[in-house]
Chains A and B, each alone.
Chain A
């Protein structure tokens, strides 16, 4: 069976299969793997994603350190009071991303997408788009296959681990996956979906992984908000027809090289970046 390890190969398979989600599904697992079961599993993942946002919006939740939890409820309240910038779709996407990320920080059940630390980006993109445009759950499941195909290529060619490639590998990858998923929902052709992923990776390239005290809390949960905003922006850029002047595979390769050149202090060790900052007195232990 033909496999894909690059975006350009994935695009060829999409042409043969008729669509991106179909190409990713057809090339899933070993020869003879159960495709119906794969679709079922993706449906279950979507359900867990939705529940993780709901749980994260609980205003009383707190993480182990007490530094996050209950903040997405604040963001949602502020949006509903008309205090936030950017309109309702962006506001909902931000609150959803923070909610799922807080659900994770508070030991809730989440879907790593591609990682636990970046688990808010993709659900936020999908469910805010559903709120805004009325896509069905089946549409969202197909979009998840698109996201999975993009994430798989990034994992094979670069990295989806903060310890290896910095936050660009986690929130950056999630944002690229979400941008492609959104573009697919918008009815864009496969090439445009991949361009959207390219714009997202371009715009988050070099983002470092610098968790305070090594915990998946600050800045991780807020970076999920940035990740979904970046995904929406990238999808808009691509769907409008703006060209990307380099192949997406080149951007993924650039991301790999940037990740490798990051010092260890900026790769999940909790030593550099935000982790090196003195904390305000009430947040210090």
Chain B
């Protein structure tokens, strides 16, 4: 617990979980897409569903998709800005069974055709937790610079990634691997002490067995 979690964050109101957290969820989805978003389908569940208008949850999520930070005054006008930027969006108001009370599911398509499906919860004080990624159950927060690497579960894939990261002199703080089944789709989530540059991120993405590598910048 940092003193700037007490005096802070600096944010656009009115709600840390329904506005600031929602903006961070949108920004995480855009980061994980790794492309300029073109179309978004957003399902709001639980208390997001009930108070999204009054707390600007819809505006905050769209602002995040447009890569705005939580203290960006343009959050208020993000729906209009999205139209100008050519981002098409649709909100679906529907409870997701057994999800955290503040949950959003974002289906995002990028201008180059890439796609990401992310479910995340706003867990209080503007903090978030990503819980599903492209159908895989995951758990990470974006509180640190995080590499999110989709890959095929195969021997040596993780070792190749970690040795490349070591060669880049990036220190790994935590590392998790989530997989659907042996030999199937998997995701590596690597929290680092400082963010690797975009060239390094691309290098990791080109390793054998890696489908995509995206950097989720510290939110």
Which positions in A face B, CB cutoff 8 Å?
Answer: 24, 28-29, 38, 41-42, 44-45, 48, 63-65, 103-117, 119, 122, 144-145, 147-149, 151-152, 155-156, 160-161, 163, 177, 213-217, 270
- In the assembled complex, how far is the CB of residue B79 from the closest CB belonging to chain A, in whole angstroms? 12
- A116/B15 in contact, CB under 8 A: yes
List of A residues within 8 angstroms of B71 by Cβ: 48, 109
Q: Tell me the dominant secondary structure on chain B's binding face.
A: mixed
Give the one of B6, B15, B20 with max A CB within 10 A: B6
B5 closest partner in A (C-beta): A155
| Residues of chain A with a CB closer than 8 A to B8's CB | 41, 45, 111-113
Q: Name the residue among B10, B12, B125 with the largest chain A CB count within 10 angstroms.
A: B10
Distance (whole angstroms) from the CB of A268 to the closest CB of chain B: 9
Q: Which of A45, A107, A149 has the most chain B CB atoms inside 10 A of its CB?
A: A107
Query: Which of B5, B14, B53 lies in contact with A105, CB distance below 8 A?
Result: B14
| In contact, A107 and B14 (Cβ under 8 angstroms) | yes
Cα A38 to Cα B7 in complex, Å, equals 11
Of A44, A63, A111, the residue contacting B14 (CB under 8 A) is A63
CB pair B51–A213 under 8 Å, yes or no, is: yes
The answer for the CA separation of A65 and B51 in the assembled complex, in Å, is 11
Question: How far is it, in angstroms, between the C-alpha of A41 and the C-alpha of B6 when the chains are bound?
Answer: 13
Chain B positions within 8 Å of A145 at CB level:
3
Q: Are B125 and A161 in contact (CB under 8 A)?
A: yes
Q: State whether A103 touches B13 (Cβ < 8 A).
A: yes
Decide if B73 touches A148 in the complex (CB within 8 Å). no
Among A106, A108, A116, A156, which residue has its beta carbon within 8 angstroms of that of B1?
A156
Q: Would you call A114 and B6 a contact (CB within 8 A)?
A: yes
Give chain B residues whose Cβ lies under 8 Å from the Cβ of A48. 10, 71
How long is the Cα–Cα vector from A215 to B12 in the complex, in angstroms?
15
Question: Is the pair A28, B10 in contact by a Cβ cutoff of 8 Å?
Answer: no
From A112, A119, A122, name the one whose CB has the most chain B CB atoms within 10 angstroms.
A112
Which single residue of chain B is at the shortest CB-CB distance from A52? B13
A/B interface sample: 18 pairs, CB < 8 A: A28-B2, A29-B2, A106-B14, A107-B13, A107-B14, A107-B56, A107-B59, A111-B7, A111-B11, A112-B125, A113-B7, A116-B11, A122-B7, A148-B4, A155-B1, A155-B6, A177-B6, A214-B47
The 8 Å CB contact of A112, one of B1, B11, B55, B59, is B11
Report the separation of the CA atoms of residues A95 and B11 in the bound assembly, to the nearest whole angstrom.
21
Asked whether, in the complex, the Cβ of A216 is within 8 Å of the Cβ of B15, the reply is yes
**Cα(A152)–Cα(B126), bound, Å:** 16
B56–A110 CB distance below 8 A: no
Kindly report which residue of chain B lies nearest to residue A268, judged by CB atoms.
B47
Chain B residues near A44: list those with CB within 8 A.
Answer: 10
Q: Is B149 an interface residue (CB 8 A)?
A: no
A215 and B6 within 8 A (CB)? no
* B152 proximal to A (CB < 8 A): no
A152 to B125, CA, bound (A): 13
Report the minimal beta-carbon distance from B73 to chain A, rounded to whole angstroms: 6
Our pick among B13, B16, B47 for the contact of A108 (Cβ within 8 Å) is B13
On whether the beta carbons of B53 and A64 are closer than 8 Å, the reply is: yes
Assess whether A151 is in contact with B7, with CB atoms less than 8 Å apart: yes
When distances are taken between beta carbons in the complex, the residues of chain B under 8 Å from A24 are 3
Cα–Cα distance between A149 and B53 once the two chains are bound (Å): 35
B47 touches A112 (CB 8 A): no
A28 and B124: CB pair below 8 A?
Answer: no
Q: A163 near B124 (CB under 8 angstroms)?
A: yes
Beyond known contacts A48-B71, A110-B11, A119-B13: 19 more, CB 8 A cutoff? A38-B3, A41-B8, A45-B10, A64-B54, A107-B19, A108-B12, A109-B71, A111-B8, A111-B11, A112-B9, A112-B125, A115-B125, A144-B7, A147-B6, A148-B3, A152-B1, A152-B3, A216-B55, A217-B14
Q: Which residues of B contact A41 (CB under 8 A)?
A: 4, 8
Query: Is there an interface contact between A214 and B7, defined as CB atoms closer than 8 Å?
Result: no
B218 located at the interface, meaning its Cβ lies under 8 Å from any Cβ of chain A in the complex? no
User: A156 CA to B12 CA in the complex, in Å?
Assistant: 25
Evaluate contact between B6 and A148: CB separation under 8 angstroms: yes
**B1-39 interface with A by 8 A CB criterion:** 1-16, 19-20
